[in-house]
Amino acid sequence: MTGVDSSAESPAVALESARSPITAAVGRFCLEQVETARDLYRVFVVTLYYSVRGEPNRKAFFRQMYEIGNRSLIFLCIVMGFIGMILVYQGGLQTQRVVPDLSLLGATFLQLLVRDLAASICALMLATRVGAGIAAEIGSMVVTEQVDALRMCATDPIDYLIRPRFLACLSVFGALVVIAAGVAFLAGMWTGYAFFGINPRTFANMSMVGPGDLTIGLTKCVAYGAAIPIISGYCGLTAFGGSEGVGAATTRAVVNSSLAVIILNFVISGTGYLIFG
């Protein structure tokens, strides 16, 4: 996921590429992706290993919980509040064009929130805020040789740097999603009342939320909460080249975390639909 490099090639290689330049480029791209995927998988597995077998590092864990949880809360609430208002407003407008009865708007909205939106939007927002933060911190440690100094003190940077962030994000993400979903729902409820005159009691309708929806939503929480710190931590660890490298690593982290969230969303939603209907 680092893009195709345009480094100078020796004449022999250039000749080789000249015969089938597109195939060479595609092949190189695919090989890079495979290598990245393999490294990412390794980081994930090693992090899990340290999570279970490593010595506990409570101070770092709580500090990360504060960084990821407390400091994202206001941002998430603002975003989810506006999302709630936008969705109910647009949804109401469009439904009115087809069906005059808006009584199920609240129920549909709640189901959508639980099943998908709360977790996914929070994940996208955290991918930008937390992903950038993690990659920036770890990336600047890499380019100032602090990560090498850690290795020289017999400390694995995955254990010391990524593990606390991974555990903190997993722990805190679910709570953030629940709070944010609540804010979105209340904002939507207000919008429904203010613009369409829907009775809040009618809006607060849980009838369409089933165990399948809850399962899908919770699975997404776990998946996103695990993916974001691993991917951004990996991007941070692979930074190189001074301040430019830190910026590049931060950008990669945001882009790749966001992409991962979208792809995971599709996979989990699709699987969920096939299982639960």
Partner 1 sequence: MIRLEGIAKSFDRAVLTDVNLFVPDQCLFGLIGPGASGKSLLLRMITGLMRPDRGRVTVAGRDVLTLGDLELSEFRKGIGMLFQNNALFDFMTVGENIAFPLRRLFQLDEAEIAARVAERLGRVDLPGFEGRLPAGLSGGQKKRVGVARATIARAPIVLYDEPAAGLDPVTSQKIFDLLRAEQRAAGATVIMVSSDLDRLLTVTDRVGMMLDGRLIFEGTTEEARNASDPRVHQFVHGAVDGPL
Partner 2 sequence: MQVETGTRSQPHPLSASVARFLSVVGGLGVLLSEILRRAVRRDFDRAELLRNLYRMGLKSLPIVTVTALFTGGIMVIQAAPIVQRYGAQGLLGWGAGFGTLREIAPLLTALMINGRVGANNTAELGTMTVTEQVDALRALAIDPVAFLVTPRFLSIVITLFLSTIFSDALALLGAAYAGAGFLGVDPGVFYRGLTTGLLGFGDVAHGLAKSIVFGCVIGLSSCHFGLATSGGAPGVGRSVNATVVASAAGVFVLDYLLSFALS
- Interface with partner 2 (CB under 8 A): 3, 75, 78-79, 82-83, 85-87, 89-90, 93-94, 97-98, 108, 112, 115-116, 124-125, 127-129, 132-133, 135-137, 139-140, 143-144, 242-248, 250-251, 254-255, 258-259, 262-263, 265-266, 269-270, 273-274, 277
Q: Which stretch binds partner 1 (CB under 8 A): 24-32, 89-97, 128-136, 146-154?
A: 146-154
Q: Binding of partner 1 at residue 151 (CB under 8 A)?
A: yes
SS (H, E, C) 260-274: HHHHHHHHHHHHHHH
Distance from C-alpha of 9 to C-alpha of 18, rounded to nearest angstrom: 12
Q: Give Cα separations from 163 to 29, 57, 107, 158 (angstroms).
A: 30, 9, 39, 6
Phi, psi of 269 (to 5 degrees): -60, -45
Q: List b or e across 82-95, with b for residues whose CB sees 16 or more CB atoms inside 10 angstroms.
A: ebbbebbbebbeeb
- CB nearer partner 1, residue 74 or residue 154: 154
Q: Binding of partner 1 at residue 156 (CB under 8 A)?
A: yes
Compute the least distance from the CB of residue 6 to partner 2, in Å.
12
Compute the least distance from the CB of residue 177 to partner 2, in Å.
17
Q: Give Cα separations from 258 to 19, 128, 262, 265, 276 (angstroms).
A: 36, 7, 6, 10, 26
Distance from C-alpha of 234 to C-alpha of 36, rounded to nearest angstrom: 10
- CB nearer partner 1, residue 19 or residue 59: 59
Compute the least distance from the CB of residue 137 to partner 1, in Å.
9
Distance from C-alpha of 131 to C-alpha of 253, rounded to nearest angstrom: 6
- CB nearer partner 1, residue 12 or residue 153: 153
Number of residues that bind partner 1 (CB under 8 A): 15
Q: Binding of partner 1 at residue 38 (CB under 8 A)?
A: no
Compute the least distance from the CB of residue 151 to partner 1, in Å.
6
Q: Which stretch binds partner 1 (CB under 8 A): 92-100, 124-132, 140-148, 196-204?
A: 140-148
Residue from 23, 148, 214, 240 touching partner 1 (CB under 8 A): that is: 148
Q: Which stretch binds partner 1 (CB under 8 A): 82-90, 124-132, 138-146, 266-274?
A: 138-146
Compute the least distance from the CB of residue 11 to partner 2, in Å.
28
Distance from C-alpha of 107 to C-alpha of 88, rounded to nearest angstrom: 11
| Residues in the chain, total | 277
Residue 154 binding partner per list partner 2, partner 1, none, with a CB distance cut-off of 5 to 8 Å that depends on partner kind: partner 1
Residue 165 binding partner per list partner 1, partner 2, none, with a CB distance cut-off of 5 to 8 Å that depends on partner kind: none
- The site for partner 1 (CB under 8 A) is made up of 7-8, 141, 144-146, 148-156
